[in-house]
């Protein structure tokens, strides 16, 4: 909220305080400052000037040459605007001047003639929002404006305005008076709210209007005043200046008065053209289903029974608290006005404005809640201003329907408890004086438990803790001593899963992979992009009702598309080769009636491209599994997964459970992602890995007896898998096998077509005796025989 300090100074004297210091201290007492603004700060060296003479530019049809009296001298300036006339006073940006948006004005030549600056439009001075047709031509100033003075003085710029962030619990601060209250407490200075005196014309308001509230649940208070013989005109400068500084565009005196009072008191007011109200009667009622109203913005609004309207006996006039109707709008032709002050139910206003799809300043204020007890003050203040501005005559009396008056309530407070809660030692007297400065009365001051009497504008205070906050913020959060938590020592730390995640990250980064983090909300188009079959369970997703767009509309069920995108992005940045991994969740819809929530599973995806092949990614997985104590695992051929290359893909099984897939991404998919390289990806169920991992280490004595090494090179059909050979080696070698190492695979020259050469080095060892050559030879021979007879292998010599 924008608070002009000049305005605030009317209620609490603060004009001796530097704006920045004011802002800092207000922030520390609970009114957070977003920005300290000086209006027109960007304008430099712009003065008022009189147009002495206008001549046509000899070389350009659309330009004119103006001789400008700028006080100290007469200078020549060229302009293209067509609304300038001799004798007018306009803003002149001199040579070396600055305008909003970082614009710098310099002397120069326009079509051969010198121009010593620029004549400015209102828009160029940053007043676009406040002056009608601000960009249409040069800003013509009133005739009596002095020549040669700083434009900031003329336009009342250079004011300090503070932009406060008002939190949702403090709607009372959305007003000058509310902020003045805070300033008065913060700086310990008296608050003075001027008394309101309305000069009335002696006629009785009841002769003009009758008010009936039919929906009392949605409207707690409704008040009305009548103003006659209205003269619609511009507001005086002081009011326009304050409105502008507070970010509101001046319209005319009546509209400006309603806005001014709203800013001052926080109470939205509405002005009706009285003569458009039929039957001298206002009815506050629910709209009928299907009822129509054309609102101020010219749109037809379809209303329903949940919405509140202000109506006359014939028709709805206003969507209550949201927006006025076009028909009863105050215009230049209006001669009698009805001012409304009201207190509408916040939730109802909120739902109505949500349904209608727009919010207004008034609706957002009603939503947040307004003290019903300020309604009448605001109405009277508006009437007072009408008289002050000579905008009309005020009919005597108000109609005020307010059945259930809201009264102050009390909260029990114990200074002892508050001190224990805050960790402070604030004396009781100090607490009382802080509360009283906040207009919270304290009774039973001599008792251990006192009563705080909460003013009705502080709907946020219900509990002792709320009072504790009031005391703490005024006492100063930074005056509360920082202390350490006392109490028993607690067993903190990471759990098993978190530790395993850490180890996995160590292993994977140690393997040269970079960790990635991608959005968990993705596009449903991802499935087609990676060839997921139409009937796949992966397509059964959690879908967001109100997504930002299709691309971010479902919760992912696989991490593979995100990984492909990361790879594609890096490839497009000319990174020739890289490897990545991501540990992240996928989300499976679960028809669990109890939790109603999906299953969130942790998955690990690894992706690499460029300088690598299948065995690199497989090696990464094996290293990870072994590091996590998973020694028995099996890679089985997988040729039916449409995301992957049918011949270069395996599924990973541990204890007969499928825990993931690894392979080369199908070439069609790679093409879709614009990656002209082989890409290898694995996706593993990380929750399974965690549950299978065995972190306890047991020492095994180092071998006491020597080992014997034997090599063998075999010629086999090329489709024989290494695992088939290894299975036989293990089967025949039994517990004499210490390790099997594949050290060469070869196809090509000297090898018959359709065959490959595959060579192993086998280490034999016993842990209870020294093996003899004979014994090992026997075993080794039996292995060879077995691979020959079972796999049709031939020993290469």
Partner 1 sequence: MRDQLLKIKKEASEDIKKASNAIELDNVRVKYLGKKGSLTAILRGMGSLDSEERPVIGKLANEIRSEIEELINEALESVKERERHEKLKSEIIDISMPGRIKNRGARHPLTIVLDEIKEIFTGMGFLVVEGPEVELDYYNFEAMNIPKNHPARDVQDTFYINDEVLLRTQTSPMQARYMEKNKPPIRIIVPGRVYRSDTPDASHSPVFTQIEGLVVDDGITMGNLKGTLDIFARKLFGEDTKTKFRPHHFNFTEPSAELDVSCSVCKGAGCSVCKGTGWVEILGCGMVHPKVLEFCKIDHRKYSGFAFGVGLERVAMIKYGINDIRLFYENDIRFLNQF
- Contact positions with partner 1 (CB under 8 A) in 483-512: 483-495, 498, 502, 505, 508-512
**Which is closer to partner 1, CB of 505 or CB of 637?**
505
**Residue 33: CB minimum distance to partner 1, A:** 10
Which residues in the 766-795 window bind partner 1 by CB under 8 A? Answer: none
Q: Which of 617, 616, 620, 694 is nearest to 654 (CA)?
A: 694
CA distance 302 to 323: 13
**Residue 581: CB minimum distance to partner 1, A:** 9
Q: Which of 361, 436, 515, 668 binds partner 1 (CB under 8 A)?
A: 515
**Residue 374: CB minimum distance to partner 1, A:** 19
Q: Which of 72, 188, 404, 478 binds partner 1 (CB under 8 A)?
A: 478
CB atoms within 10 A of CB 603: 22
**Residue 583: CB minimum distance to partner 1, A:** 9
**Residue 501: CB minimum distance to partner 1, A:** 9
The answer to whether 418 touches 431, Cβ cutoff 8 Å, is yes
546 binds partner 1 (CB under 8 A): yes
Q: Which of 238, 514, 705, 743 binds partner 1 (CB under 8 A)?
A: 514
**How many residues bind partner 1, per CB under 8 A?**
85
Residue listed under structure tokens 């009342």: 156
| Site string (24-53) toward partner 1, x via CB under 8 A | ---xxxx-x---------------------
Which residues in the 601-630 window bind partner 1 by CB under 8 A? Answer: none
Rg (CA), the chain: 41
Which residues in the 179-238 window bind partner 1 by CB under 8 A? Answer: none
294 binds partner 1 (CB under 8 A): no
Beta-bridge mates of residue 683: 605, 661
Q: Which of 68, 459, 513, 530 binds partner 1 (CB under 8 A)?
A: 513
**Which is closer to partner 1, CB of 194 or CB of 549?**
549
Q: Binding segment for partner 1 among 10-18, 374-382, 537-545, 785-793 (CB under 8 A)?
A: 537-545
CA distance 245 to 243: 5
Tokens for 697, please give them. Answer: 């280490």
Tokens for 290, please give them. Answer: 């299907």
CA distance 638 to 646: 7
Q: Which of 404, 641, 390, 606 is nearest to 509 (CA)?
A: 606
Q: Binding segment for partner 1 among 343-351, 443-451, 695-703, 789-797 (CB under 8 A)?
A: 343-351
**Residue 602: CB minimum distance to partner 1, A:** 10
**Residue 418: CB minimum distance to partner 1, A:** 10
CA distance 392 to 540: 68
**Ordered DSSP codes for 517-550:** ---SEE-TTHHHHTT--TT-GGG---B-SS-SSG
Phi, psi of 331 (to 5 degrees): -125, 180
CB atoms within 10 A of CB 314: 11
Q: Binding segment for partner 1 among 231-239, 400-408, 543-551, 770-778 (CB under 8 A)?
A: 543-551
Beta-bridge mates of residue 505: none
Q: Which helix (H) or strand (E) holds 305?
A: none
Q: Which of 63, 65, 64, 69 is nearest to 51 (CA)?
A: 69
**Residue 254: CB minimum distance to partner 1, A:** 30
CA distance 209 to 281: 5
Which residues in the 159-178 window bind partner 1 by CB under 8 A? Answer: 167-170
Q: Which of 328, 323, 327 is nearest to 308 (CA)?
A: 323
**Residue 573: CB minimum distance to partner 1, A:** 6
Give the 3-state secondary structure of residue 532. coil
**Residue 409: CB minimum distance to partner 1, A:** 17
368 binds partner 1 (CB under 8 A): yes
Which residues in the 561-600 window bind partner 1 by CB under 8 A? Answer: 566, 569-570, 573, 575, 578-580, 585, 587, 596-598, 600
Which residues in the 389-428 window bind partner 1 by CB under 8 A? Answer: 420-424
Tokens for 568, please give them. Answer: 């594609």
664 binds partner 1 (CB under 8 A): no
Q: Binding segment for partner 1 among 103-111, 206-214, 515-523, 694-702 (CB under 8 A)?
A: 515-523
The answer to whether 533 touches 486, Cβ cutoff 8 Å, is no
């Amino acid at each position: 909220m924008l608070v002009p300090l000049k305005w605030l100074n009317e209620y609490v004297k603060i004009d001796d305080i530097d704006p920045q210091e004011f802002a800092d201290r207000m922030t520390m007492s609970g009114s957070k400052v977003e920005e300290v603004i000086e209006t027109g700060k960007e304008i430099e060296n712009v003065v008022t000037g009189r147009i002495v003479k206008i001549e046509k530019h000899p070389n350009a049809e659309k330009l004119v040459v103006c001789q400008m009296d700028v006080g100290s001298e007469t200078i020549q300036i060229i302009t293209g605007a067509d609304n300038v006339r001799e004798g007018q006073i306009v803003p002149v940006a001199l040579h070396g001047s600055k305008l909003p948006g970082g614009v710098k004005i310099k002397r120069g030549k326009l079509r051969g003639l010198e121009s010593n600056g620029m004549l400015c439009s209102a828009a160029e001075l940053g007043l676009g929002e406040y002056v009608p047709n601000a960009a249409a031509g040069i800003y013509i100033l009133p005739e009596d404006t002095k020549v040669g003075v700083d434009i900031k003085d003329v336009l009342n710029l250079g004011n300090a305005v503070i932009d406060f962030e008002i939190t949702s619990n403090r709607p009372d601060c959305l007003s000058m008076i509310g902020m003045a209250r805070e300033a008065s407490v913060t700086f310990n200075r008296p608050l003075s709210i001027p008394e309101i005196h309305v000069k009335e014309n002696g006629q009785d308001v009841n002769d003009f209007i009758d008010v009936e509230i039919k929906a009392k649940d949605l409207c707690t208070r409704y008040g009305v005043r009548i103003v006659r013989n209205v003269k619609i005109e511009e507001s005086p400068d002081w009011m326009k200046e304050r409105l502008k500084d507070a970010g509101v565009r001046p319209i005319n005196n009546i509209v400006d008065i309603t806005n001014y009072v709203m800013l001052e008191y926080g109470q939205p007011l509405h002005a009706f053209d009285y003569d458009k109200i039929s039957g001298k009667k206002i009815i506050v009622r629910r709209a009928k289903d299907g009822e129509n109203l054309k609102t101020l913005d010219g749109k037809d609004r379809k209303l329903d029974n949940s919405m509140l309207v202000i109506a006359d006996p014939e028709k709805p006039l206003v969507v209550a608290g949201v927006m006025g109707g076009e028909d009863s709008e105050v215009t230049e032709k209006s001669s009698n006005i009805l001012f409304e002050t009201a207190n509408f139910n916040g939730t109802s206003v909120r739902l109505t404005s949500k349904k209608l799809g727009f919010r207004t300043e008034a609706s957002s204020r009603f939503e947040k809640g307004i003290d019903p007890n300020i309604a009448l003050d605001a109405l009277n203040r508006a009437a007072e201003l009408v008289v002050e501005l000579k905008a009309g005559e005020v009919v005597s009396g108000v109609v005020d329907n307010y059945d259930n008056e809201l009264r102050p309530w009390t909260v029990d407070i114990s200074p002892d408890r508050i001190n224990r809660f805050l960790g402070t030692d604030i004396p009781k007297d100090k607490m009382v004086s802080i509360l009283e400065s906040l207009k919270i009365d304290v009774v039973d001051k001599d008792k251990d438990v006192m009563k705080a009497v909460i003013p009705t504008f502080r709907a946020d205070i219900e509990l002792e803790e709320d009072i504790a906050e009031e005391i703490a913020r005024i006492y100063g959060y930074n005056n509360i001593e920082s202390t350490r938590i006392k109490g028993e020592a607690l067993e903190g730390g990471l759990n098993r899963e978190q530790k395993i995640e850490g180890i996995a990250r160590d292993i994977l980064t140690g393997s040269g992979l970079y960790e990635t983090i991608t959005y968990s909300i993705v596009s449903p188009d991802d499935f087609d992009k990676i060839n997921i079959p139409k009937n796949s369970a992966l397509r059964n997703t959690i879908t967001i009702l109100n997504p930002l767009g299709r691309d971010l509309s479902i919760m992912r069920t696989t991490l593979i598309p995100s990984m492909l995108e990361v790879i594609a992005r890096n490839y497009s940045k000319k990174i020739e080769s890289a490897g990545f991994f991501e540990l992240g969740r996928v989300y499976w819809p679960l028809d669990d009636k109890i939790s109603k929530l999906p299953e969130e599973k942790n998955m690990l995806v690894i992706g690499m491209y460029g300088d690598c092949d299948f065995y690199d990614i497989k090696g990464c997985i094996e290293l990870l599994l072994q590091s996590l104590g998973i020694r028995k695992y099996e890679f089985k051929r997988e040729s039916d997964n449409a995301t992957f290359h049918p011949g270069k893909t395996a599924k990973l099984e541990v204890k007969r459970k499928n825990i993931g897939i690894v392979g080369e991404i199908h070439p069609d998919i790679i093409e879709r992602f614009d990656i002209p390289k082989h890409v290898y990806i694995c996706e593993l169920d990380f929750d399974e890995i965690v549950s299978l991992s065995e972190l306890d280490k047991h020492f095994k004595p180092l071998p006491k007896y020597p080992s014997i090494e034997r090599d063998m090179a075999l010629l086999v059909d090329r489709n024989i898998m290494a695992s088939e050979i290894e299975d036989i080696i293990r089967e025949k070698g039994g517990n004499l096998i210490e390790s099997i190492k594949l050290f060469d695979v070869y196809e090509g020259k000297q090898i018959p077509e359709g065959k490959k050469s595959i060579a192993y080095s086998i280490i034999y060892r016993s842990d209870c005796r020294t093996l003899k050559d004979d014994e090992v030879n026997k075993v080794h021979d039996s292995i060879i025989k077995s691979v020959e007879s079972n796999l049709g292998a031939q020993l290469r010599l």
